[in-house]
Chain A
Amino acid sequence: MPETEEAVRTAAGLDRDYVRDVFRAMLRARLLENKLSSLYKAGKIVGGVYLGKGQEAVSASLGTSLIKGRDIFAALIRDQAGRTAFGEPLIDCTRTYLGSVLGPMKGRDGNIHRGRPLDGMPAMISHLGAAVSVVGGMLIARRIRGELAGVVGATCVGDGATSTGAFHEGLNMAAVEKLPMVVIVGNNQFAYSTPTDRQFACEDLLDRAKGYGVGGHSVDGTDVLACAKVIGDAVQLAREGAGPQMVVARLLRLSGHGEHDDGSYVPPVLKSGHLGRDCIETGSNQLVESGYATAEEIERWRSDFTDEVQAAVAQAQQEPLPDPWHEEWHACATQTGRL
């Protein structure tokens, strides 16, 4: 596998703790999502379950490169690994999926739409691409207050979201304002069931970065060390004042669009090819081969995270569900009487 060897070489010299943190976030997210999938199949979760299987290396590299308490991360649909890396408490996820009233969304919104806006994690809406300009606004607010130095705002989109107006307007605005923003495009080959050749006609989505005057980077999204390097560098460039950076990661979604979708439209040749590699498996090998971790350490992490996931699910399952009779039903912060 020449691509892997090359990636390992280019990644040589990556900070040991950084690489370990990236992989740990990936593994933790995967184990959590495996559990969510089984809960969904057991009928314990209402609404949809959307997994980031196959995109963990990209997402976790971004989340780990960002600084908690300072940076901004607008996570999207397949970003559990990035959320985990950016410090989202695991219980936030299980509470939201299981509808616990103690979760950040209190049962008012579900699954991946959760967020903690005041902690630099805006809550996504289903209209993907809409978060690009929201992150831009958070950065502009800090610029006006003179608090932008050293801050990065980041978001992820998929190949499908690059067809939306919101993505283009948001990216263009970020470029005009020269914002320290990183936009990751996870080109996972399908927007729901629609393949990329029905989604865009340019050769490479990276061309779009050039078109907007945004720094462009390409990476093999199945390669953990390559992701850690390229995405880490892109975040650093933005942080140092080089303006918005866009990273296009080539990968394959290893699950359906959601757990209700078996993804049967994905051709077997893609699944068995290079893009079909599971970044957790290849990453595990890469870490061991490159001396970032031992196989025993990885097994211990796996065991610890499995326990942690079980505990979070058990806790959320015992918590109170929303009660319509005690719901405040206030859509406005200002209570102006009968609206």
Chain B
Amino acid sequence: MARLRHANGKTLTMSVTYVDAIRDAQEKLLREDPRVFLYGQDISQFGGAFKATKGLAEAFPGRVLDSPISEDAMIGMAVGAAIEGMRPIVEMQFADFSSIAFNQIVNQAATHYYRTGVPVPLTVRLPSGGTPGSGPFHSQSMEALYAHYPGLVVVTPATVSDAYHMLLDSVALDDPVIYCEHKFLYRWLKAPRINGDGLPIGKARITRPGKHATVVAYSAMVHEAVRAADRLKEEGGWEIEVVDLRSVKPLDMDTVLASVARTGRLLALGEAFPWGGVTAEVVSRVCTDGFHLLDAPPRRLNSRDTPVPYHPKLWAAHRPTPESICLELRKLLTF
């Protein structure tokens, strides 16, 4: 939440960062719901590798617990606790490390409701995506892998307010939620305050209205898409519509198709690797259900098909950039 600080007799409204929003949502959940507890590596006194749990262990003794370096057991534990009626939030130190927990997430948590009729309300926070210098094992985006499995909800907040509200909503859901928070946005993204109540999970948002082409994006790529749209506006007066998916499962195809109906052109944009994935899913569904709406073949843009590189110069060119997005959009607009 926005913090009011008094300095020199004046009231200043401080900005809220994306990671503040995640921390504050967890504080609110711990305060208001006795079923909530936090589990993860270094999240207690240390406050988490990214300080997303700073001060929470002191405020809520016994409910913010350091785990051993055991991602498999962390999720297994959360499944057991959720069966017992708790609302565990597990912090993976990096999304990449959730590969160790893959079995517990996709086989234990995801199948549980269908098999037994007993819901498993747990939330896994995945610090996702790349930052300069992070390299191959601290930069990956896992949302498509988890979205592939029935029984999981996968959310990808792109704004400070969504980071806050969608974490509250994730914990409120009776299902296992993979909450993909973007590390690049942690401190880079700020807002004066948390807005309103947000949209429900499963509803996409038109971040920027337009009429010449639609960019469907999520997480940090929403901001790159807006930058690209700004450039094309300056360059040629193009009005690019940007749709923020907010959650990749459920996928709000109603909003996407309505946007494509307005613009006739689609670019699906994601930071994850290009093979398959969310962008492929969006293109496929638009072709199936909205082929008649298209004035040009739909395009998609992802990272390059290599592991995520370490050096900032390589990294910046590995993921989609405003330049590469503009390039794709020009192809789309001039078809």
Which A residues are within 8 Å of any B CB, using their own CB?
A: 104-106, 108-109, 113, 115-118, 122-123, 125-127, 130-142, 144-145, 165-166, 169-170, 172-173, 176, 330-334, 336-339
Contact = CB atoms under 8 A, between A and B. Distances in A.
A339 to B, nearest CB: 5
Given A125-B107, A125-B108, A134-B80, A105 B73 contact: no
B251 interface: yes
B86 A144 contact: yes
B83 interface: yes
A44 B151 CA distance: 31
Nearest to A106: B117
B114 A118 contact: no
B84 interface: yes
Contacts of A332: 113, 150-151, 153, 175
B253 interface: yes
30 contacts: A105-B116, A123-B112, A130-B76, A132-B76, A133-B72, A133-B74, A133-B76, A136-B77, A137-B76, A137-B83, A138-B81, A140-B65, A140-B81, A141-B86, A144-B81, A165-B72, A166-B73, A169-B68, A169-B70, A169-B72, A169-B76, A170-B70, A173-B77, A331-B113, A332-B113, A332-B153, A334-B173, A334-B174, A336-B250, A339-B249
B324 interface: no
A123 B107 contact: no
A330 B111 CA distance: 10
Contact of B116 (A104, A141, A170): A104
Q: Chain B contact residues (Cβ within 8 angstroms of A): what range?
A: 35 or more
B79 A137 contact: yes
B80 to A, nearest CB: 3
Given A130-B108, A336-B153, A117 B116 contact: yes
Nearest to B88: A137
A130 B103 contact: yes
Interface of B: 34, 37, 62-63, 65, 67-68, 70-86, 88, 100, 103-104, 107-108, 110-119, 121, 150-151, 153, 173-175, 201-202, 249-251, 253
Contacts of B84: 137-138, 141-142
Contacts of B75: 133
A145 B115 CA distance: 27
A127 B72 CA distance: 12
A137 B121 CA distance: 13
A142 B121 CA distance: 16
